[in-house]
Amino acid sequence: MGLKCVYATSASVSPTPSTGENGTVELSRPSSKMYCMSTDISRMELAVSVDLPDCYRSAASPDALAALQHFQEVTTHGLGGPNFRAAMLTIGDRTAYCSPYLRHVILAVSYAHQNFLLGERDHDGKAAGLRLATTSHWQRGLQLFGRALSERDETATSGRVHYDSLVATTFLTTMMTFCQHAQPADVSQTQDSDVFTRILEFMTTVGGFPAVRSAFGEPVESSAWTPVLDSTDDKTGGVDVVEDRTERSAVIETYLQRFDASQSETDGLLLTIGRALAPLLQLQISAIHMPILFAFAGRTWSAFQTLLRQQDDRALLLFSCWLGLLRRTGRWWVMMGATVQLDDINEHLAKSTDQAILSLYGSMRA
């Protein structure tokens, strides 16, 4: 995966791995039989607890304990902002072993991330094992998660552990769905209308972030998710204070002026989306802006859904502007999905005969 494992020489090293310079991951050297035995027991208990077939517990399959360690020490750095990482670390420590569906989804995300890091450097066939493990845990996690949602009642949902597990699994499922959308479409075998169907599916996924509060209610006392959900609770319309107007935001605002006097419902929806998007184009986007970007998705989901079903190229163009911002956060799972969707949209819009769309499209890509 491009990460060198360096064993420390000191005998008094903490068993917790840490990320060193130059991307190395420092691990404590197993110094006793007791340490090795406890590790083996943990592996066995984990294999039994996630209830996988025997073939997935063999030495040839990816090590689930190492995958959990990878998730905690490496993957969580690329999931979201500091609040999100803190929540996932807390939940992973205190609730994952109580929630089988969350364990499976965490393992699926970890294996998917390892496969992403492996990239083109798969010289020993490791990627195939990672993909198999990802699929196995992903499918099992979804089955158990669906069962937990259908069987939950007010008493069960009121508990902090249950609430945190449900919300964590919802977030991680959304991330995994981003990765599932990272396969490019075969343009030669698809019709222009297909791009709207694919973007609709993608938009439905990302619109789920702000909907968590509606689905599960207010965070219970001491929930690890309170800071995260508060940051995506879009009471202020997204952005309060932004930098000076950029060229792209000015272009969008000029384009939207043509809809100000329109009585058309479609134009009104475009105006709603555009006015919410313009302030975001003024930001120097980084990972800390992810809550604001996903709040935008939740706030405009209904309008986008209506316009995309009408196969409106203007809505597709505005959506591509948001995807471009999302990709600039640099998060691996976002980039996997957003990049492919952008390529899909660009392929479609390049064939447009609407000069206004082509002009705006050119300005946004400049």
Residue 30 located in a structural domain: no
Residue 278 located in a structural domain: yes
Q: What span, in angstroms and rounded, lies between the C-alpha atoms of 250 and 256? A: 10
Residue 226 located in a structural domain: no
Residue 288 located in a structural domain: yes
- Looking at the 3D structure of the chain, how many domains does it have? 2
Q: How far is CA 103 from CA 92, 93, 138, 168, 256, in A?
A: 8, 11, 10, 10, 46
User: Which pLDDT belongs to residue 237?
Assistant: 46
User: Which pLDDT belongs to residue 181?
Assistant: 57
User: Which pLDDT belongs to residue 280?
Assistant: 87
Residue 33 located in a structural domain: no
Shared domain for 147 and 254, answered yes or no, is: no
Strand 25-27 versus strand 5-7 pairing type? parallel
Residue 68 located in a structural domain: yes
Q: How far is CA 164 from CA 114, 205, 222, 226, in A?
A: 25, 20, 10, 10
Residue 225 located in a structural domain: no
Sign of CA dihedral 158, 106, 76, 11: positive
Residue that terminates a domain, selected from 180, 212, 245: 180
Kindly give the confidence (pLDDT) of every residue in the chain, 366 residues in length, as a single tens digit, with 9 standing for 90 and above.
Answer: 444 444 444 444 344 444 444 444 444 444 455 445 455 545 555 555 555 544 444 433 557 888 888 998 899 888 877 788 888 888 877 666 678 889 899 999 999 999 888 876 766 678 888 888 898 999 999 899 888 877 755 444 456 667 888 888 888 887 887 776 555 444 444 455 578 887 777 776 665 555 566 666 666 667 888 777 666 555 444 454 444 455 666 777 777 776 766 778 888 899 889 888 888 888 888 887 887 887 788 788 889 989 999 999 999 999 988 988 888 888 888 877 788 888 888 888 888 888 878 877 777 665
Shared domain for 73 and 141, answered yes or no, is: yes
Residue that terminates a domain, selected from 165, 180, 195: 180
- How many degrees, rounded to 5, is the angle at CA 162 between CA 160 and CA 163? 65
Residue 37 located in a structural domain: no
Could you tell me the residue range of the domain that residue 273 belongs to? 235-365
